[in-house]
Amino acid sequence: MFRRIIAPMACALLFTLGCQAQVEKSKPPTASATPAASGEGATPVARIGDVTITLDELDQWIKDDLFDRQTSGRNPAKLFDVRRPALDQMVAQRVLDMEAERRKLAVDEVIAAEIAALGEVSDDEVAQFYADQIDQMGGQTLEQIGPRIREYLGQIRTQSVAEGLVKNANVTILLERPKVQVAADGPAKGPADAAVTIIEFSDFQCPLCSRALPVLDELMKRYPNDLRIVYRHMPLDRIHPRSRAAAEASLCAEEQNGFWAFHDLLFANPKTLEDEDLKRFAAEAKLDVAAWEECVSGGKFKSKVEADVEAARGIGVTGTPAFVINGVLLSGARPVEDFVPVIEAALKEQKGGESS
């Protein structure tokens, strides 16, 4: 029930077909997809000689396989990313069930009563929403889009009812994000004594990694005195054949304190990372090109790049970008909003440790 309530909230607006398609995918199974009836699970679905595979065994295998795929082989960080939103939904559903039992009503009736108490969505609310979001309206007038805005605001009220019941239910979330141990060993920017360190594992030819650049820049602006960013390498050799060479070359640039200028040039030109391109970038970064070439040709930092790769694999990183924030692992390209709670929690933890 709760998933049916919250699923439409996954989109900021429900005005585009694409957004509607995403909501449709997030709906729970229909009645036809309910669990097998009693006794049906023992139905044979295959035989291997004298060994029978039952429907229950097949369904369990599917569940385990889907769970393993979703969590990258039950990687602790991915497990948390799957479990945390599922726990929120489960808690909300339990709260709704308990409230319905307390009132001697069905869950739908509880929600309907709470929404009715809020009253109808007013014309002023619709008009204000339209004015605030006019750039997203595709040129449609208030008269044209008004009914859909009213429907959307009604769904927001449904969400607020569920959230309000959860808030008043004295819920304590005990599930904690796991932490990993990895050295902050690489080129860095930000205060050396910063309370929070983000260790970034990245690949110079990875499109998703380039998306992380403005996000990290924004975080540095928000936390100029509290945040340090350390760059470590994870070249994905099978799909990015020039990433490892670029990684080694960037560490030769770091030897001349030119890593970040070189880093920016590499990410700006991910499709042109041949040897001559790298040499050109070294010159553009105002490096001593002869010394840089000697460093590169001698393979001086080959072992360092490999050590970075092994460190990433050691904490369960399977792709780029990945970020370790004071021990908390976040995988994939993420918006600023995903980093802020983790950083704030780390800052709070640091302050707690200092006062104790």
In this predicted model, what pLDDT tens digit does every residue of 253-292 receive, in sequence order? 999 999 999 999 999 999 999 999 999 999 999 999 999 9
Instruction: Please give the share of the chain, as a percent, with pLDDT higher than 70.
Output: 88
- Nearest Cα neighbor of 202 from 74, 342, 330, 338 is 330
3-state secondary structure of 104: coil
Lowest mean pLDDT among 48-57, 156-165, 304-313: 156-165
**Mean pLDDT value across residues 19-36:** 37
Q: pLDDT digits over 151-175, tens only?
A: 999 888 888 888 889 999 999 999 9
CB of 204 closer than 8 Å to CB of 239: no
Mean pLDDT of the chain: 87
- At residue 305 the predicted structure's pLDDT band, cuts being 50, 70 and 90, is very high
Assigned token pair, 19? 């957004």
Helix (H, G, I), strand (E, B) or coil at 320: coil
Query: Residue 77, SS3?
Result: helix
State what percent of residues in the chain have pLDDT above 90.
72
First CA to last CA across the chain, in angstroms? 44
Model pLDDT, residue 209: 97
34 or 44: whose pLDDT is higher? 44
Q: How far apart are CA 254 and CA 292, in angstroms?
A: 10
The stretch 179-208 carries a mean pLDDT of 96
Domains of the chain: 1-23+70-177 (no CATH), 188-355 (3.40.30.10)
Phi, psi of 238 (to 5 degrees): -65, -30
